[in-house]
Amino acid sequence: MKPAEQIIRLFKKSNVAAGPKVDERILGDALGQLEKFKKAESASAEQNIWRIIMKSKMTKFAAAAVIVIAVLIGVDQFGGFGKGSGVAWADVGEKVEQIQTFTYRRTESQMVAGKKQMKDYITKVYSSSKYGTRMDSYTNGEITISTYTLRAEKILVSVMHPMKKYAQHPLDEEALRKMDKMGPKQIVKRFTSLKYRELGHKVIDGVEAEGIEVNDPKILSGANFPIDSLTARLWVNGATEVPVLLEVEIIGNEGSLEIKTVMDRFEWDIQLDASEFELNIPDDYTLLEE
């Protein structure tokens, strides 16, 4: 429950009515808290407001009176419960869907029957609604695979650097739609369409973030193995309401398979031109025969 909702709920339980009969001592205490709110404005306003209220000797009644005062003078004057008081989760997916370009880092690890199969498998992803996607994957700091999904050409090209090979596959509209469903934009949208629980606040890379958690396998699209359990967490910037961290932990195949995926270092709505998606196949690489 958000702090503003907590205060309102407290007010309803307090049985305090605004009017001439309100105890002067209650109003005095409330006004004192209001003055403290103004002084706390520059620092994490919402958390400080709640902390100040909870420390009051007459918390229950003072909070109720402050609500009345806030309605009369406008809560924005002391950085209260308007914009910035909490993430509007219902709007996050729609907002992200409108963004045309972004980049992020994806880190993956996989355990099969207790043995780790991948270590620090890191992919830098560039995505454009106009041009497509480019994914550069690294293992132990060295690039291993570059994958291009080119919308205009409707092809997928995988460049396998250790082998000095590349493969090319045609893509129809259905294939492009399926690939889109596996991207972070659609995953974020599914978060708020499923049952979730709020995780509260957390500072991530210096950013004040708010999170939610989902345990429904429907958060994924097209898993090719049975899922035993899943935990997916989404953290968004509390000010801009765009994702800063996405984590998915999966146990499947009757406990024999464990996969962890982390998406972070998001940059949203940035400049990406066609050059970022131009095929870069060295001259000495050859086509992989199917």
Question: Is residue 83 included in any domain, yes or no?
Answer: no
Span 32-42, mean pLDDT? Answer: 48
Compute the C-alpha angle 263/231/240, nearest 5°.
45
CA 185/CA 187 separation, integer angstroms: 6
Compute the C-alpha angle 283/289/290, nearest 5°.
145
User: Do residue 42 and residue 107 come from a single domain?
Assistant: no
Per-residue pLDDT at 150:
92
Q: Give the domain extent around 151.
A: 89-287
Span 221-234, mean pLDDT? Answer: 85
User: Do residue 222 and residue 155 come from a single domain?
Assistant: yes
User: Do residue 166 and residue 214 come from a single domain?
Assistant: yes
- Overall residue count recorded for the chain in this entry: 290
Burial, 20: exposed, middle or buried (Cβ in 10 Å; 0-12, 13-18, 19+)? Answer: exposed
- Domains in the chain, number: 2
User: Do residue 29 and residue 102 come from a single domain?
Assistant: no
Q: Is the pLDDT of residue 6 over 80?
A: no
User: Do residue 244 and residue 100 come from a single domain?
Assistant: yes
Per-residue pLDDT at 135:
95
Find the distance separating the first CA and the last CA of the chain, reported in whole Å: 55
pLDDT digits (tens, 9 = 90+) for 168-207: 999 888 888 877 777 788 888 889 889 999 999 999 999 9
Q: State the pLDDT confidence band at 117, using cuts at 50, 70 and 90.
A: low
Q: Are 4 and 81 in contact (CB under 8 A)?
A: yes
Backbone phi, then psi, for 86, in 5-degree steps? 175, 155
User: Do residue 30 and residue 108 come from a single domain?
Assistant: no
The residues, ordered by sequence, that sit 6+ positions from 113 with a Cβ below 8 Å of its Cβ are 256, 257
Q: State the pLDDT confidence band at 112, using cuts at 50, 70 and 90.
A: confident
User: Do residue 123 and residue 180 come from a single domain?
Assistant: yes
Question: Is residue 204 included in any domain, yes or no?
Answer: yes
pLDDT digits (tens, 9 = 90+) for 232-270: 999 999 999 999 999 999 999 888 889 999 999 999 999
Per-residue pLDDT at 240:
93
pLDDT digits (tens, 9 = 90+) for 66-102: 333 333 333 333 333 333 448 899 899 889 989 999 9
Can you read off the two tokens belonging to residue 78?
């002391």
Choice between 2 and 221, residue whose per-residue pLDDT is larger: 221
Backbone phi, then psi, for 234, in 5-degree steps? -120, 125
Lowest-pLDDT choice from 133-137, 202-206, 221-225: 221-225
User: Do residue 39 and residue 105 come from a single domain?
Assistant: no
Mean model confidence pLDDT for the chain: 76
Q: Is the pLDDT of residue 137 over 90?
A: yes
Question: Is residue 147 included in any domain, yes or no?
Answer: yes
Q: State the pLDDT confidence band at 219, using cuts at 50, 70 and 90.
A: confident
Q: Are 125 and 143 in contact (CB under 8 A)?
A: no
Could you tell me the CATH number of the domain that includes residue 221? Answer: 2.50.20.10
Assign 3-class secondary structure to the chain.
CCHHHHHHHHHHHHCCCCCCCCCHHHHHHHHHHHHHHHHCCCCCHHHHHHHHHHHCCCHHHHHHHHHHHHHHHCHHHHCCCCCCCCCCHHHHHHHHHCCCEEEEEEEEEEEECCEEEEEEEEEEEEEECCCEEEEEEEECCEEEEEEEEECCCCEEEEEECCCCEEEEEECCHHHHHHHHHCCHHHHHHHHCCCCCEEEEEEEECCEEEEEEEECCHHHCCCCCCCEEEEEEEEEEECCCCCEEEEEEEEEECCCCEEEEEEEEEEEECCCCCHHHHCCCCCCCCEECCC
The residues, ordered by sequence, that sit 6+ positions from 101 with a Cβ below 8 Å of its Cβ are 127, 128, 129, 268, 269, 270, 271, 272
User: Do residue 59 and residue 156 come from a single domain?
Assistant: no
Per-residue pLDDT at 65:
36
User: Do residue 170 and residue 226 come from a single domain?
Assistant: yes
User: Do residue 65 and residue 122 come from a single domain?
Assistant: no
